[in-house]
Amino acid sequence: MAYDNNGMSDSMLNIGSEPRGAYTGSNHFILNEDEKKSTRDQLRSVGPWCRQKAKNIFRKKTLYKKLPIINWLPKYSADDAVGDLVAGITVGLTVIPQALAYAGIAGLPAAYGLYGSFMGCFVYIFLGSHKDVPLGPTAIASLLTLQASSGVWQRAVLLNFLTGLIEILMGIFGLGFLLDFVSGPVNCGFTSAVALVILSSQVKDVLGIAASGNTFVQMWTSIFEHIGDTRVGDTVLGAICIVILLLMRMLTSLKIGPRNHEDKTTMQKAINKTLWLIGTSRNAILVVICGGIGAALHYSDNNWFKLIGYIPPGLPAFQPPPFEIDEVTNGTEIIQKGETFSEMVSNMGSGLFVIPLIALLENMAICKAFADGKAIDASQELIAIGTANVVNSFVQGYPGNGALSRGAVNNSSGARTPMGSLYTGVLVILALLFFTPYFYYIPRSALAAIIIAAVIFMVEVRVIKPMWRSKKSDLLPGLATFIACLALPLEYGILIGIGINVIFILYHSARPKITIELCATTGVSNKYLMITPDRCLIFPSTEYVRHLVNKQGIKNQTPVVLDCSHIYGADYTAATVIETLVKDFEDRNQKILFYNLKPSVVHVFEGVDNKIRVYYNFEDLERVINEK
Amino acid sequence: MAYDNNGMSDSMLNIGSEPRGAYTGSNHFILNEDEKKSTRDQLRSVGPWCRQKAKNIFRKKTLYKKLPIINWLPKYSADDAVGDLVAGITVGLTVIPQALAYAGIAGLPAAYGLYGSFMGCFVYIFLGSHKDVPLGPTAIASLLTLQASSGVWQRAVLLNFLTGLIEILMGIFGLGFLLDFVSGPVNCGFTSAVALVILSSQVKDVLGIAASGNTFVQMWTSIFEHIGDTRVGDTVLGAICIVILLLMRMLTSLKIGPRNHEDKTTMQKAINKTLWLIGTSRNAILVVICGGIGAALHYSDNNWFKLIGYIPPGLPAFQPPPFEIDEVTNGTEIIQKGETFSEMVSNMGSGLFVIPLIALLENMAICKAFADGKAIDASQELIAIGTANVVNSFVQGYPGNGALSRGAVNNSSGARTPMGSLYTGVLVILALLFFTPYFYYIPRSALAAIIIAAVIFMVEVRVIKPMWRSKKSDLLPGLATFIACLALPLEYGILIGIGINVIFILYHSARPKITIELCATTGVSNKYLMITPDRCLIFPSTEYVRHLVNKQGIKNQTPVVLDCSHIYGADYTAATVIETLVKDFEDRNQKILFYNLKPSVVHVFEGVDNKIRVYYNFEDLERVINEK
């Protein structure tokens, strides 16, 4: 080991010479303990507590927290406005091609991507707590929408409405903490699997074939069934677009001139800025160019590429989400089967609860990435996303949330406040009003290329090495999530990952590490056994600890000291088992002594009329061991 | 607080004067750590490990463990034989009336209780690891059988076969540890609810009415519907029997003469022994007397009491358990519907997995009560119960396991080895061969009285007070289990209780307690913040800790020291979050130092290319804080 253990023990040995009040070892642990209140006092304090809580709800601070716009709007400056305008428009240029493409992931016509891209922006200005979150469709949310609604737009819009409501409720009840139970490995496994599934869903458009399927396995099965129909034009265009996009992506990090930003000439700075802007707007540029090629070929009657086709011009109608699906017949044949509300909901399944969790997960990823260590209010974000989704469902949008890719663009474009979203939203509205006729000519394979070039960076191969070096066992939940997400619908995959992680925690609490040392008292050298568990004693571990202590006690036939320095908590089950343990030792006429047990834990143990012998002073302890 | 905190801090301060090697504070925690093996070494050791495991399976010790009879049979003495004979017959006198009564709880004819009471005894002699466990039907197992098989004997016998197989598998795969997750409070809540449900199931027999239902609520609804049919004879007999049984129960603890056993005269000892024997055989005595009364009334054509009626004489047929139910018709009408194997299994539901768990729970309760601190092999017990149940299902027995009440009788009758079960089994066989004609006359309400007088002591009201004193929050899972077990089928009830407890553990791991102290360095008095989390850092708690450390850091603008003395473990997620935390502090140009971090945790943290500054020496730490 490279660590200086002697230094460590020296520091412990020298603590005695430190003046009191500075640092007094782990016993501040005990000194700081709250005084126990009597039960009656506790009951009496319920009333005032409720009043205080009720008061808090109507306090100014709560209002500022729940309507974050009040914090920044009064201080809004011209500088802020310029920063937000530039950022908003840059994000807008990214979101329009993304929205068209992501609708394809969700199995919906391209227009639905745009429908879900403007109202959320406006809502977030009022409710959003973070400047860099651009609400709208994301690749992950689109894929989850596909799996929960199978490409039926009515289901997708209703899903948006319902998940929005659930998000608002989760925000109100403070369930954002649930995110804590999605560990890093599960998150990585999930994201990587999602990236592969999304990539697979786009292969059909690059090849120009008609394939279907919701999961990775289904998609590839379908692709191989239709591989014979591959169209050369689409395939070549798709491949070229992917290469171009990857090259253009590099422009964003290309910097010319000296390394230090200060030393650069104005010219160099301008070139760098332009390169960055071209790189960032690569999707918009590609769509415009490919759209131009598509239009030219279309008018020369060449159908080399499949185009996205007609998008109804104008804004979507403002109307409630569809709570049932009417049967559509074509005279004699049924084109679309009718569905009642409950049929629609039961089709969505557990997606209804997993989508809000994933939405928050994606959203918090942006917040955490650009928060600079400041606190983020997960509940407020849930309320903002939820409200945006509910409002979106009235303009036929499908579920969306903050997208990390656009968040990064927003941040590096110099966004100052959530106001940037205003310009993004306006740009999308303008696109819907004036540009839809031109979208007709965009080749599908170009959109697929945009998605593929984006998601391949989501496959997190690079985390495997640090994970292996850091904690090998963490690879298991990560890999399990990855495989489960590929084989099963995503929501089951992530739940399996979380389940495995929870089992880890339970195992952790059931099997503490216990150090056993045979010691001897000073001078007289009476042998005794020092047994040190390393964590709290709660019900899953108590029988194990009792068994081990008894076994060692019987084996050694010396007094046993239980060093409880690390036991920070216990429960009723532990108390009863400790009672039995003490009795076991009494029956054998063997001493069992407790050393350094926190008073609060002594209180728990003695609640069951358990008479244990606790010592806080090492000399007392040795004296008792030496007694015959 | 009544605890001597000064003593505590003194002991810490004085540790310096202890000689090395004796007790060196919590740093043996670090000194004892295993040296890290390289990955290649770990992989290389897989082969020998497998060979070692394979070897172990065929070792003599394993055989002794798996066939415990080899341990005690060669040493079997005449004294052992006498002790076992007395105990076996005493238990036999208890088990026969209990078996007749418990069959009623399971909703089966009385004979099935006896069928399940002898083969298990013989199997346990070979496989059982504990001298005091008398296998056979129990009240809880009977109730679970009722809920899973609704009184259809074919289902009950198949259930016995299948749960037996599951128990054997659980034993082989070492799943006995699952029991650790049934905490004391959940156990108490479950047992109390079971007692009330069993009591309720017997009320109908005491009142002589025909009521039905599987859960507490259903049973009482049905009782109130039929309350008008109450029969005076049964009710009076039942009430008298309950009172007599409770009085006779007191005889077991009644002792005459001087307190000390040595000082008693032989006469006094004999009287005490007789009183105890009468008290212990109270059920058998009551059954004989009531049977006599029943017979007398029957022959004088008085039907004051409902009798249990005809029990087919002789041993049950030895045949495989029924894997399907044939349709039984009465010429035109269907008396019993036919059922396929899969229909039978799906009717059993989750009971199939809960029954083995509860069987082990009940069985281990006996082992723990009378083990005197010795280790109990849960896996071996599972294999013993499982084998007994599988064998039992061939003689039409229903699920059973060791019963605590009979275990206590066994223990206090002086059982020496599992051989006592032999005499119990033989007694049941004799009863089946010769006494069944006499069982005809036993009044049902007398049997119900036997059950009620036994189960009322299972309602654990007395644990509420110590639980309240020890740990109030533990009342919640206990009460929730109790209520859920009354309102729902038992298996859901106990699963709800375990679920709540698991949430406790998860909360526990998600929200560590963190002590924050503003300290000053020696001499120069530079301020710094000492932040001490009290437990391991794993994924659910990491963001919380980061948030809190950042918040305190921003508020105080002093260097921050993270005292990691109590952090005994970490995972990859923690490593990445610590990385972000260190970056947060770097961005603010603020110092963050780690004190006393276990080398194994440093290894986890540094796996993600995280450069953290760890100090084990307090003087080094202060020097770094004082640096500008």
Say which range, A147-156, A259-268, B73-82, B523-532, has the weakest mean pLDDT: A259-268
**How sure is the predictor about A413, in pLDDT bands with cuts at 50, 70 and 90?**
confident
pLDDT at position B62:
80
Average the pLDDT over each of A274-278, A481-485, B11-15, B257-261 and give the range with the smallest value: B11-15
Helix (H) or strand (E) holding A489: none
pLDDT tens digits for A526-568?
A: 899 999 988 888 888 888 898 899 888 988 889 999 998 888 8
Question: Is B618 in contact with A368 (Cβ distance < 8 A)?
Answer: no
Reply yes or no on whether the pLDDT at B20 is more than 50. Answer: no
> What does the pLDDT look like over A307-360, one tens digit per residue?
988 889 999 999 999 998 888 887 788 777 888 899 899 888 888 888 999 999
B516 chain-A contacts, CB cut-off 8 A: none
Instruction: Could you list the beta-strand ranges (E) of A5-161.
Output: 135-136
Least confident of A49-63, B96-110, B581-595: A49-63
Q: Which region among A592-596, B289-293, B344-348 has the lowest average model confidence (pLDDT)?
A: B344-348
Say whether pLDDT at A3 is over 50. no
Res A373: pLDDT: 64
Quote the pLDDT of residue B37: 55
Q: How far is B358 from chain A (nearest CA, A)?
A: 16
pLDDT tens profile B182-222: 999 999 999 899 899 989 988 998 999 988 888 899 899 99
Q: State pLDDT tens for residues B445-456.
A: 998 998 898 888
Residues of B in contact with A375 (CB under 8 A): 547, 550-551
Q: What distances in angstroms separate CA A199 from CA A138, A351, A599, one per listed residue?
A: 14, 21, 58
Q: What is the pLDDT of residue A37?
A: 55
The mean pLDDT of B599-606, rounded to a whole number, is: 89
Return the pLDDT at B12: 32
Q: Distance from CA of residue A198 to its chain's centroid? A: 18
How would residue B42 be classed by pLDDT, with cut points 50, 70 and 90? Answer: low
Note the Cα B286 to chain centre separation in Å: 31
Q: What's the sign of the alpha-carbon dihedral B519, B521, B523, B525?
A: negative
ipTM score for this prediction? 0.78
Interval A88-109 mean pLDDT: 90
Percent with pLDDT over 90 in chain A: 35
Query: CB burial class (10 A; 0-12, 13-18, 19+) of residue B349?
Result: middle
The answer to whether residues B124 and B415 touch, using CB atoms and an 8 Å cutoff, is no
Are A471 and B604 an interchain contact pair (Cβ–Cβ within 8 Å)? yes
Interface test with A, best of B1, B471, B526, B529 (most A CBs within 10 A): B471
Closest chain B residue to A36, measured at CA: B1
* Burial class, B293, CB count within 10 angstroms (exposed 0-12 / middle 13-18 / buried 19+): middle
pLDDT at A327: 83
pLDDT band at B39 (very low <50, low <70, confident <90, very high): low
Q: What is the pTM of this model?
A: 0.78
Instruction: Tell me the chain B residues in contact with residue A469 when contact means C-beta distances shorter than 8 Å.
Output: 607-608
- Quote the pLDDT of residue A38: 60
- Contact state of B605 with A470 under an 8 Å Cβ cutoff: yes
Distance from CA of B561 to the nearest CA of A (A): 12
* pLDDT confidence tier of residue B434, bands split at 50, 70 and 90: very high
A45: its two tokens? 């304090």
Strand partners, B529: B518, B560
Contacts of A591 (CB under 8 A, 6+ apart): A559, A560, A585, A624, A625
Residue-wise pLDDT for B142-190, tens only, equals 999 998 988 899 999 999 999 999 999 999 998 888 888 899 999 999 9
| B562 contacts on A by Cβ (under 8 Å) | none
Chain B residues inside the 8 Å CB shell of A13:
15-16, 24
Residue A266 to chain B, least CA–CA distance (Å): 27
pLDDT of residue B6: 33
Contact B9 A24 (CB under 8 A): yes
Contact (CB<8Å) B184/A10: no
Q: What is the DSSP string of B394-454?
A: TTT-------HHHHHHHHHTT--STTHHHHHHHHHHHIIIIIHHHHTT-BHHHHHHHHHHH
Amino acid at A342: S
Pick B37 or B366 by higher pLDDT: B366
> Are B510 and A605 an interchain contact pair (Cβ–Cβ within 8 Å)?
no
pLDDT top residue among A333 and B443: B443
Cβ neighbours of residue B628 under 8 Å, at least 6 residues apart? none
Distance CA A473, CA B36 (A): 15
| A313 contacts: CB under 8 Å, gap ≥ 6 | A432, A433, A436, A437
Q: What integer best gives the mean pLDDT of chain B? A: 85
Residue pairs spanning A and B at CB distance below 8 A:
323
CB contact under 8 A, A470 and B572: yes
A184 to chain B: nearest residue by CA?
B573
Nearest to B184 among A24, A39, A539 (CB): A539
DSSP output for A108-149: S-THHHHHTTSHHHHHHHHH---TT--EE--HHHHHHHHHHH
Q: Measured between CA atoms, how close is A6 to chain B, in angstroms?
A: 9
Q: What is the mean pLDDT of residues B425-453?
A: 91
pLDDT category at A210 given cuts 50, 70, 90 is confident
Q: What is the DSSP letter of A106?
A: T
The least confident of B98-107, B408-417, B523-532 is B408-417
Q: Return the number of other C-beta atoms located less than 10 Å from residue A118's C-beta.
A: 30
Q: Tell me how far apart the alpha carbons of residues B389 and B161 are, in angstroms, rounded to a whole number.
A: 6
The mean pLDDT value for B248-262 works out to 83
Q: Identify all chain A residues contacting B566, using CB atoms and an 8 Å cutoff.
A: 26, 566, 568
Q: Report which of residues A390 and A9 the model is more confident about.
A: A390
The residue among A5, A6, A8, A614 with the most chain B CBs within 10 A of its CB, best to mutate, is A8
Contact B14 A519 (CB under 8 A): no
Chain A residue closest to B34 (CA)?
A: A1
Inter-chain residue contact B372 with A15, CB threshold 8 Å: no
Q: A608 with A572: CB under 8 angstroms?
A: yes
State how far residue B143 is from chain A, nearest Cα, in angstroms: 26
Which structure tokens are listed for A320?
Answer: 């409630």
User: In the prediction, which pLDDT does A6 show?
Assistant: 34
**Residue of A573, A579, A581 to mutate when probing chain B, most B C-beta within 10 A:** A573
Minimum CA–CA partner of A576 in chain B? B184
A91 pLDDT higher than 70? yes
Confidence of residue B18 (pLDDT cuts 50, 70, 90): very low
Instruction: Flag if B474 and A573 touch (Cβ within 8 Å).
Output: yes
Q: Decide if pLDDT at B249 tops 80.
A: yes
Provide the pLDDT for residue A106.
92
Per-residue model confidence as pLDDT tens digits over A431-452: 999 999 999 999 989 989 988 9
Mean pLDDT across A489-506 = 90
pLDDT of residue B254 exceeding 80: yes
How far is it, in rounded angstroms, from Cα B436 to Cα B430? 10
pLDDT of residue B7: 32
Q: Which of A11, A41, A360 would best serve as a mutation to test chain B binding (most B beta carbons within 10 A)? A: A11
How much is the pLDDT for A10?
A: 31
Residue to test with chain B: of A37, A190, A505, most B Cβ within 10 A: A505
Query: How far, rounded to the nearest angstrom, does the alpha carbon of residue B591 sit from its chain's CA centroid?
Result: 51
